[in-house]
Structure 1
């Protein structure tokens, strides 16, 4: 009987650990957050390369830490990369022009206590935020692309 309780406890603990791990990669505010073993700059470089290789366009790369430095303030390394593909974004913008506030896609890469993080808004959250009806295929493709691109950048 004691072995049964130990196994049940172990299974419960494993399930709790799995749930905690899953939740840490998907923040409650709709962001999907991953860790990278590379620096912020290297991770941003890898993201830009993956985006360009995929045929999308990088519209901007914003170095927030450099901006803070310009006013003699300190900020941990933080870079925003904005990119998109009109084949994916246009159907969304046709269905809900206000989604242009969140498009092109933005991926934030930052240093969090020595650990590089890479995060982006879950396309499902974007769809819900702007009450987009239709463009389901575009959102599915966007979700897959963001997942693959950020995976490539975080490795």
Structure 2
């Protein structure tokens, strides 16, 4: 029984490590709200559209619970995302894109699932240019959100 539990624990640890590699995470010198506000302003200035802003800390408080600040911005550009969803309708689960800004200990982080991970997850044959553009846009936008004032 102990060997079985140890094997399960090792398998879960390996799975979690593999999933962590799928993320792009950056540190922010700003708090969660300021980082999210900066990213939202960058989205508004570009071709993407903000679909939603989810404040998980506020939702937890509404339920009588506490948690550290965590905000998700959901945004996309239908001209880029629609052809990807046409190629593989399951991609609609991950599109529009989502970026998480969260506080962990005393640090603020901003992160998202890498475009490479999305490409591995779905059948996007012939979409290399669109995916490269998406990766560049995510990198540029999140870099802008974490720039010092």
TM-score (ref. length: structure 2): 0.83
Structure-2 residue corresponding to 1:94: 86
Regions of 4+ moved over 3 Å: none
Are 1:32 and 2:18 matched, yes or no? no
Higher Cα Rg, which structure: 1
In the alignment, structure 1 residue 138 sits paired with structure 2 residue 130: yes
Deviation at 1:134, TM superposition (A): 2.0
Query: Counterpart of 2:75?
Result: 83
The answer on whether the counterparts of 1:47 and 1:153 sit within 8 Å (CA) in structure 2 is yes
Q: Which residue of 1 aligns with 2:146?
A: 154
| 8 A Cα contact 1:91 1:138, kept in partner | no
TM-score, length-scaled by structure 1: 0.80
Unaligned runs of 5+ in 2: 1-18
**Match of residue 12 from structure 2:** none
- The aligned counterpart of 2:58 is 66
